[in-house]
Amino acid sequence: MKLLMLFFLVNFLSAEPLKPLPSGTYPWEPSGTIFAGSGPVLSSHVLKGHMLKAGAAMTYKGDAAERFFIIKKGAVAVTLSATTYNIERGSVILLLPGDELSLGNRGSATAELYEMVYASKAPADPGRGIKAGASFVMNWNDMVFKAHDKGGVRQLFDRKTAMFSRFDIHITTLNPGLSSHAPHTHKNEEIILMIDGDAEMLVNGKAVRCDTGDAVYVDSMVPHNLTNIGKSPSTYFAIQWN
């Protein structure tokens, strides 16, 4: 089994790197690729959209990829490490290489989810990922909300994985008319994924729309900030890594 996993890992990571991913907005794609490219840290970085009709399921058999999922819409049953979780919109899953996962729509309406699958330019370190913690499911209802003067935040995790020396995700709720912060830069690449609301992002001096369902990729050291241009609070994932 270890030799088989090593074979898959070598083949997955030795694939030709994709073209660099440009900073900008990428709209929701219900059954396909939202974006695909590479970056300073990742040789392959793909964000996909999936739709699961009532009763449908998806299964991952433990390949060499690392994956991160966000439930966009619907009620989903997740089986991971022989445990089944019933989760809703906004819930997340981190799947480390080699682990198995099944996702099934347990509702009567179509479910939607994001899948981020990625490979690092540096050699993957499965032991580092396991040492930092197992694959996991985090239900939206279990995420702690901390209010602040602009809205509030849910800090999900800040940890190492097989592909990342640091993987940091929080969810921000921003009140109407406010900006997240002054335009700033950081070494980490970032994805802003809008799950509710209408916003405008300043990316490298250019204003881009970011509406519900959209993802905005911001490359390393690119100046950016986000402003809620709607009439109700906006809520978005902020995903960083190195």
pLDDT per position as a tens digit, 12-50: 444 566 999 999 999 999 999 999 999 999 999 999 999
pLDDT tens for 152-206 read 999 999 999 999 999 999 999 999 999 999 999 999 999 999 999 999 999 999 9
CATH class entry, domain 146-241: mainly beta
- Cβ neighbours of residue 45 closer than 8 Å, sequence gap 6 or more: 18, 21, 35, 36, 37, 38, 39, 116, 118
Fold classified for 2-140: Jelly Rolls (2.60.120)
pLDDT surpassing 50 at residue 6: no
pTM of the model: 0.92
pLDDT tens for 207-239 read 999 999 999 999 999 999 999 999 999 999 999
- Cβ neighbours of residue 50 closer than 8 Å, sequence gap 6 or more: 30, 31, 58, 112, 113, 114, 115
Task: Specify the domain boundaries for CATH 2.60.120.10 within the chain.
Answer: 2-140, 146-241
CB 77 within 8 A of CB 103: yes
